[in-house]
Amino acid sequence: MGERLDDQIADVDGLRRRVAELRATIDRGNYEYYILDNPTLSDAEWDAAMRELRAIEEAHPVLVTPDSPTQRVGATPLGAFATVTHPLPMLSLGNVFDEAGLREWAARVYKITGRDAVECVVEPKIDGLAVALTYEEGRLTVGATRGDGFTGEDVTQNLRTIRAIPLRLREPGDGLPPVPPRLEVRGEVFLPRSGFAAINEKQAEAGKPLYANPRNAAAGSLRQLDPGITAARPLRFFAYQVGSIERALTPRAHWDALRWLKALGFPLSPDSALCATLDEVWERCRWWQERRDALDFEIDGAVVKVNQTGLQEELGQVAREPRWAIAYKFPAVQGVTRLDHIEINVGRTGALNPLAFLDPVQIGGVTVGRATLHNEDQIRRLDLKLGDWVVVERRGDVIPQIVKVLAERRDGSEREYHFPTSCPTCGSTVERVAGEAMSYCTNASCPAQLKERLAHFAGRGAMDIEGLGAERVAQFVDAGLLGDVADLYLLHERRDALLALERMAEKNTDNLLRAIEASKGRPLARLIFGLGIRHVGERNAGLLAGRFASLEELCRASLEDLVAIPGFGAIVAQSVYDFCQEGRNQALIAKLAAVGVRPEGGRPPAPTDGPLAGKSFVLTGRLDSLTRGEATARLQALGATVAATVTKKTDYVVVGEDAGSKAERAAALKRPTLDEPALLALLAEAEGGGTPGAASPDEEPVPAS
């Protein structure tokens, strides 16, 4: 009996040691990814450690602790949020809008402190939600929103789901102060632009309203009563300040505090700078302004903070703003103008897309005369009337959108807008499916839909028919030459009719006919994408082509077959199934086969001995001569792996136009980069049977320009 008890104790001790090892591995992975920006643990290794830890804790609940990584998700939904009183008020910042305003602020600082120069730290002003995190004995106990600055909401369960927020602090080492008994850390929760785009894509696929901007989406995500919903959103966190702490442990400078926070395990906003002079401060503010649109997160300014803690205390605060910090707000990306009228564009799926026509207004150096309104619900949410004065927002390459109506400027001349009940192009009935945000023209033969479908089918991501753009498609439809996409492959029989059209000389007509014929050889994934099935983008088209050998086989699939495809959602599966069951679509597929468009699918085995075997590539930015899907397919055909994340193990990062944070990460990790000409040269050499001259991942033989 005693021996069995000893064995049981030994087993538990062994499990405790294993649990500690797994937690350390997971914490190390999070720290390297979010803090050091230099992961050495692969996603597969991290997932395996988490699965094993979860299995052990489920089998032995006594081993579960509140700071275990498994406890980030799984709390029961709340009925409401409790309130939290901040030990120190979370003050708002004063704003300046130009260099003169910044110098006026600095002059006040110099006057109060009796100095003619003061060190300052400049950080990006993240457009997110300020939160306060309280740690006791190094463990996260409370997380609260800023609220009114004095009292916030207790959103601890939701904040625990954000992997970038440490549940347990690390011992700093390197001569830095140890973990204090109690520490409050303040920072910003935000949604990266890439995550925001992914969320809105899912909203669109589900027929739900789109979020207006990343900040609103982040706020909505953090204030979910069900933490499981928050956990599904790719929220991030940057720490920016030490809040309440024992006075004896207060860092003597803000720059030291940031270094300490990083050592404790908190992610910080990148590229903060310590500036000795006001000229350096202004230069850094302008530097952030120039980089604004290239970042993967929203910033609306730069924050300038006096570095020395003693000077901060001497400067104090006025009203609810600290004198020792100021926000330089970037020039507006918003403008105020008047709505003239609304037009409806009919898309390839029949969706009615409202477009606002505005009195032209300058926003960020660009004249804006139109803005998207998304759908009927957005018009209703804004309470938008024709003739209203509105606030229009433009950020980077994002299509301008109306974000607010200035109802106080109404004078009675405004008119109600009524969403159409019939298609503005063909007059057919408009239908809105219950639970979806979009309204649709019910006529599959609607000329507007047909033109959009044909242009999509001929586009680069689909059948890539050179010379067949939107204008030419419209010309052919208006001439009665095209009734569906299969008719493209019958145009060779109507060559004389083509030659009779404007701008259709013999040479470009024959070039077009050859391009149409060549498109018959495109892969099945491209054809599926080109058919314009609702909710089926390039990724989902690739999944279908990897599962089915032909369009005919796809159309014989049951709904259960489609749902079972890994990575395929139920909404997308239903959309594909409905498309395949529609008689007109079945006739179209048969017609495509009859005219010779019968590509084969099925997932080809990944080559293991190609000239690029063993090499890992990451693509970022826009390529001019081929789509990202085409580049991926060609690299994979040569044996390369195409990943989504840049790590130290990445061999090459392909940098196109308007590249985002992956290019910055490649530079930080000193990974070789290739511009588009260099990529094309490498592909040509590898496809020609040669050995590419880029063998060493530590060299950069063909640098990006």
- What does the block give as tokens for 427? 């007059």
- What does the block give as tokens for 146? 């800023």
Neighbours of 9 (CB within 10 A): 10
662 is catalytic: no
Cβ distance 26 to 49 under 8 Å?
yes
Cβ distance 643 to 668 under 8 Å?
no
CA atoms within 13 A on the CB side of 54: 12
3-state secondary structure (DSSP) of residue 459: coil
CA-to-CA distance for 641 and 632, rounded, in angstroms? 9
CA-to-CA distance for 457 and 487, rounded, in angstroms? 12
- Out of 111, 125, 208, 329, the active site residue is 125
3-state secondary structure (DSSP) of residue 179: coil
Cβ distance 474 to 521 under 8 Å?
no
CA-to-CA distance for 26 and 131, rounded, in angstroms? 24
Is residue 78 packed enough to be buried (19+ CB in 10 Å), middle (13-18) or exposed (0-12)?
middle
Neighbours of 376 (CB within 10 A): 20
CA-to-CA distance for 468 and 471, rounded, in angstroms? 8
Over the range 555-582, which residues count as b (16 or more CB within 10 Å of their CB) and which as e?
bebeeebbeebeebbeebbebbbebbee
CA-to-CA distance for 79 and 582, rounded, in angstroms? 45
- What does the block give as tokens for 655? 């940098």
Eight-state DSSP code of residue 611: T
Q: Name which of 62, 202, 267, 312 is nearest 535 in CA terms.
A: 202
CA-to-CA distance for 297 and 52, rounded, in angstroms? 33
Neighbours of 287 (CB within 10 A): 13
Q: Name which of 399, 406, 370 is nearest 385 in CA terms.
A: 406
The catalytic residues are 125
